[in-house]
Amino acid sequence: MKTTHIAADSTQGAIHPPTLHVTTPQLKHQHVRFNPLRGDWILVSPHRMKRPWAGQVEEVIEEDIPVHDPKNPLCPRVTRPSGEVNPDYEATFVFTNDFPALLKDVPSPPETDDPLFRAGQALGTCRVMCFHPHANITLPLMSKEQIKAVIDRWIMELDDLGKKYVWVQIFENKGAIMGCSNPHPHCQIWASSFMPNEPQLKDANQKKYFLEHGTPMLMDYVVRELEKKERLVLLNDHWVVVVPYWAVWPYETMVLPRRHVTRMTELSSTEKDSLADIIKRLTTIYDNLFNCSFPYSMGWHGAPTGPRLESDERHWVFHGCYYPPLLRSATVKKFMVGYEMLAQAQRDLTAEQAAQRLKSLPEVHYKLTGSK
Ligand code: H2U
């Protein structure tokens, strides 16, 4: 896939952004930044927001959610509209989505060589995974042991679905603003016979980097971020959380391993404990940013799966992506509209400012300190 800009060292004579020889905090004026994972650019306009924003915070009345709701199809013991009865689960619970976007067995579209009307086969399955039996709890309010049970279950599902499907996308939509249909803590798992666009781009760009440099792009990136420090949000012995240099969403973060891991299934028990720690701390500071149950879409990316016995996946580094929409308060979100839809992504708050803001937040959840 072609990028909209030509690389700075290109000799093709095309218009391209000048190489920037300044350290990031000095980037006070508008500039474009390259996302090497997607191979595209983002416009950063820091002059529109020169200092970290610290103004008005609208009060959000959080809905009182009962621990158990007999009408909620994700709760234990409830009969779903499909007629199936949920077990009396005590930790995680996974079921096949009753309204799946992907089915296991459907006829292929007719073959055609028409370049303008191409279609291809798409097979798969979709699952729903509840994190906890209680409807009113969220990840930051769960214990690290309970979050580890979630990680263990993600790995089980990845292992199972990955035997058959090339891509298993685990993702969580949190909050109505992200289109989440149910407050019960849950995520979705979609497994497909095809590589979706986003991982396809990441696969190609990481492979290209590995061939050119002989090292995995994201392992080099972690080392550089640990040196630079300006975008670091959280750290522990096994994981690093940064607002990526190329972040698009205001408080977007990336969870990266300190050891080269290509897939989630390779994590040791200690690394899983450590990831549970990171997830709890990250989701807590997110909630503390605007004193609300912070909405986001998040998901995990790692080497493709399926029967790929011969394939070399050393270019892949397992990582997590958090994409939260909120910009100024619990109710003011960043809209990806006009320029973003028609030209390219743009942000005002720099990645460095966002990281500083996140880093300054307490790691004890506001609901536990009564600070709201
Ligand atoms: P979201 O909150 O991200 O929309 O995920 C909830 C999923 O749960 C959604 O994909 C499924 C929806 O199809 N679901 C069931 O499979 N059965 C139900 O009875 C309710 C919701």
CB atoms within 10 A of CB 356: 17
Query: H-type helices in the chain, by residue range?
Result: 144-162, 197-213, 217-228, 269-290, 338-342, 351-359, 366-369
pLDDT (tens digit, 0 to 9) for every residue of the chain, 372 residues total?
333 333 333 333 344 454 444 456 556 789 999 999 999 999 999 887 654 555 555 566 677 899 999 999 999 999 999 999 999 999 999 999 999 999 999 999 999 999 999 999 999 999 999 999 999 999 999 999 999 999 999 999 999 999 999 999 999 999 999 989 899 999 999 999 999 999 999 999 999 999 999 999 999 999 999 999 999 999 999 999 999 999 999 999 999 999 999 999 999 999 999 999 999 999 999 999 999 999 999 999 999 999 866 689 999 999 999 999 999 899 889 999 999 999 999 999 999 999 999 999 999 999 998 665
Domains in the chain: boundaries = 197-365
Q: Is 186 a catalytic residue?
A: yes
Residue spans of beta strands (DSSP E) within 45-112:
93-96
DSSP conformation class of 170? E
Active site residue: 134, 184, 186, 315, which one? 186
Burial class (CB in 10 A: 0-12, 13-18, 19+), 75: buried
Q: What pLDDT score was predicted for residue 139? A: 98
Q: What is the pLDDT of residue 19?
A: 47
Which of 338, 300, 345, 321 has the alpha carbon at shortest distance from 157?
300
| Pocket test residue of 75, 84, 95, 99 for ligand 1, highest count of atoms within 8 A of CB | 99
- Position 311 scores a pLDDT of 81
Output the ligand 1 site: residues, CB below 6 A. 73, 80-81, 97-99, 128, 173, 180-182, 188
DSSP state of 177: G
Residue where the block lists tokens 């708050």: 349
CATH of span 197-365: 3.30.428.10
Give the whole-angstrom CA distance, residue 236 versus residue 224. 16
